[in-house]
Structure 1
Amino acid sequence: MQTKKFENIPLAVLDLAPINEGSNAAQSFKNSAELAQHVEKWGFNRYWLAEHHNMPGIGSSATSVLIGHIAGATETIRVGSGGIMLPNHAPLVIAEQFGTLETLYPGRIDLGLGRAPGSDQATAYALRRTLQSSGDDFPEQVAELEEYFSGNTSARVQAYPGAGLNIPLWLLGSSGFSAQLAAFKGLPFSFASHFAPDYTMQALQLYHQNFKPSAALKEPYAMVGVNVIAADSQERAEWLATSQQQQMFSLMRGMPTMLKAPIDRLEDVWSDREIAMFREKLETESMIVGTPDVVREKLRNFILKTRANEVIINSQIFHQEDRLRSYEIVADLME
């Protein structure tokens, strides 16, 4: 199906495979497949899954496995990682995994790469068995990964499958580091404005000002993340948003939980200081909560401000029917 656009901008989905309180990962994966099938039908451009570890409310830890599940449940939508946290892995393993995915689903796989661990220090150690890889060697890891895909037959180590395959590489970031690296290498860049809104404009400016054309990309291409909770009434949208709010504060407290059901009164579970902090965050352009009209206006303003080439939408919503409806509302705004 042809990709639809909003304000001439394609839209994508960022899925953390939320695991609801009282549910399990099996149901989460069924929900993700259902959502992917719907957004494909509604004209979204791509569907990305994010790597996180040791978080009971996020089911996408084995990201490449889940990408295969989603790609197998859909037909045309691009499926990829938003992202793979490369310091957690040997680049050869990622080349082989995504070489396999591209072989199974040709022309549909994206490989987005991040340099953060996606976890706490203890979990990072459990993943790597060493903390020598801190993210500082991320540029070298990206170069090694590119070499595996290059098809260089003289290299001593080859990625089978993977060698010679044209798998789009993206760099992801929540600061200026990956923005500058993406610009230097001439790669597309995706900024996590949905959780780092204060650094959005600075990072995008660095990317655009320093971009060097490459074989992969002639002009800069930036995709920007945004949280959207849409419903048919403002009251319901704000009620649904309390699930994501609770999850964000559990992370801030260092006590991650499963995705909780919406609540009527934040005052019952949060301090006044926490509520004030989140109210301030809610007012940023990267957190859009409301009716179709509210979403249309705020999403348009977000695109105008960021000059995004594409927007990727995160919607942590407890009830599957409300999650589907939120993305359907966004789809109805597309041309």
Structure 2
Amino acid sequence: MRADEFSTYLSGRASEVDAFLSSRLGEKTLPGERVRPPRLLAAIRHGVLNGGKRFRPFLLLETAKLFDADDDGALYAAAALECVHCYSLIHDDLPAMDDDDMRRGAPTVHRAFDEASAILAGDSLLTLAFDLVTDEASGFDGETRAALANRLARAAGLGGMAGGQALDLQASTSRLDEAGVMTLQAMKTGALIRFACEAGGVIGGATDSQLDRLCIYGEKVGLAFQLADDLLDMTQSASVMGKATGKDAAQGKATLASLNGEDWARRKLDEFVSEAEDLAKSFGEAGSSLAGAARFVASRRL
């Protein structure tokens, strides 16, 4: 799949996820709900429906597709994953965390609304994720829904993304070595990317061997994604990125790129992408979109 073909395909998949999320984040209440406060709903929609590439949901949908899983059902899990990701961005941007004013070229939720609304928007999205992933309307049996919920909780929580953010905050005051940075990034960035690939396999009924390959693929893509982010933070302007850049260096935070240099980082990025491509290709022609996803990670505004 050529780069232009992949970009078009990724945009199409993103539109599917956006449509699903927009519908679920409407004013209509669901059974068990009383009312959806308009200001909170507006804050949530501001933090979610803001032009994201939906890369994590894409990986989930495409890994599920490897096994001819039902797309409509997989969308529930893909949207749940994006809710967790968007919640993490809303909370990461708060003054007590990364203290950012811009996200995807627009004011962050706490700037567009207020801090309380941003906190509650994140809380709502995290709980919505588990509403979606356990929803019987997905068509998945109870065992599959329980497995997805359990794996998502572990990827998002103390030993995954949230724990990685805690380590990242500590990195401002304690200089990490390469092993420490790798652990931090595997949790903060890599855990949800790995889950995306694992979840697609769970939905599709992958064998243990296939699940192992998908998880390793996800880990390689996660490493490449973070290295690409490090390079973008070092080399691109805030106007190009739509968010603040150069903050890691200003705060004295170690990254793989800062520890080993830009040339090393670019070589290592190519290595991770190549390894991910090989794993994707092991699934035959059906894995072409996953190979394209690995290449896309390396080409993001570098």
TM-score (ref. length: structure 2): 0.33
| Higher share in helix | 2
TM superposition score normalised by structure 1: 0.31
Higher strand proportion: 1
